[in-house]
Amino acid sequence: MAAVLEPYIYEGGVHKHTLITELLEDLGGYLIQKVPAATEVTLIMLIPRDDVHLIEELGTKLLGTLTKAPLTGTEIAVVSPTLASHHLPHSACDVAEHLRRDGANTNMLGLARGMGRRVALSADYERKLINEHDIAVFSFGTFSDCIRNKKPKLLEGVRIPKVVTGGPDLKTEDVANADVYVGNIGRVAHRLRKSEEISSLDIMNQKVADIVKQMREEIAKDPLAVLPPRVMKEVHEQVPQIGQVLAPAPITLQLDGLRIKLPYGEFHEKIENLEFDEGIRLFELARITPSKMKNYILVKIKRESEVGFAI
């Protein structure tokens, strides 16, 4: 039986941080992302549940901190009707940043091109791009009438869980097609720094984490044929060109797959033929398609019931 992996973020000094990554590899965990910044480093990890205390003890010796990161391994779309400066995108930026603090990878999408909601989602391409993510967080602004009666049309055709943020204090059922509504996060002309604004962002993160937990429980009923971090590890080992990718998070994990930021036309055959120790190739375990995002490679892993086995 495979070990249960728990998501954590380690923050500490660059000095000797490789001791953490070496121990993690020895324990059978996975390093999802490493973000160095001057003399500090942030490590986003999946650690076997029974061995978390070992990483914690070593981190304490290195004067670092280890915190739970419930959104690790998810890709979230932060969607605004427009990201034009005159529509005050400050809150959407803060929403994306706050989600990243709990381990999520975020992509910001502006749906319109200057005019606002009337031309937003005018192409089905935009919906397909949103649906490639695990969850969509929509930033709907400050006006109650807009949020109740006009902007919910932007949620139509989005099949993934939808979280809506806005300024007014509304109930979720007041916003058609929304799975969750979080208030007190409206469009403002400043960054969200006040205590009540940070509290609202914390509430949003908790509600998103609750959705992620439900999605993970649903996946556990019919597990994936292979874990996304296992595929990521094989890509790093078998496709050396991934090390030359300059985009943030060259391999972005999702709950049921991953986005590989290499051109589909040039690399999809290499990805399809990734070989695992068991002699199985990735195309047997997953669907590999071109992504709507810059023609990257999108991998969606099949369930164990589809392929008849798991590795």
Q: Quick one: what percent of the chain has pLDDT higher than 70?
A: 94
Query: In which residue are the tokens 């649906």 written?
Result: 131
Average pLDDT rounded to a whole number, residues 51-79: 95
pLDDT at 311: 85
Q: What is the 3-state secondary structure (H, E, C) of the chain?
A: CCCCEEEEEEEEECCCCHHHHHHHHHHCCEEEEEEEECCEEEEEEEEEHHHHHHHHHHHHHCCCEEEECCCCCCEEEEEECCCCHHHCCHHHHHHHHHHHHCCCEEEEEECCCCCCCCCCCCCHHHHHHHHCCCEEEEECCCCHHHHHHHHHHHHCCCCCCEEEECCCCCCHHHCCCCCEEECCCCCCCCCCCCHHHHHHHHHHHHHHHHHHHHHHHHHHHCCECCCHHHHHHHHHHHCHHHHHCCCCCCEEEECCEEEECCCHHHHHHHHHCCECCCCCEHHHCEEEEECCCCCCEEEEECEHHHHCCCC
pTM here? 0.90
Q: How confident is the model at residue 1 (pLDDT cuts 50, 70, 90)?
A: very low
Average pLDDT rounded to a whole number, residues 177-198: 85
pLDDT at 86: 65
Per-residue pLDDT tens for 194-253? 888 889 999 999 999 999 999 999 998 999 999 999 999 999 999 999 999 988 889 999
Query: Between 3.40.50.620, 1.20.120.140, 3.30.70.260, 3.40.640.10, what CATH number should domain 5-68 receive?
Result: 3.30.70.260
Q: Quick one: what percent of the chain has pLDDT higher than 90?
A: 70
Contact 177, 194 (CB under 8 A): no
Taking only Cα atoms into account, the Rg of the chain, rounded to an integer number of angstroms, comes to: 20
pLDDT of 3 over the 80 cut: no
Domain ranges of the chain: 5-68, 75-219, 228-307
pLDDT at 143: 87
Average pLDDT rounded to a whole number, residues 12-40: 93
Residue type present at position 238: Q
CATH 3.40.50.2300 fits 75-219, yes or no: yes
pLDDT of 151 over the 90 cut: no
Across the strands, what pairs with 164?
Answer: 138, 181
Residue 151 phi/psi, 5-degree rounding, is: -80, -20
Look up residue 280 and give its two tokens: 């199985």
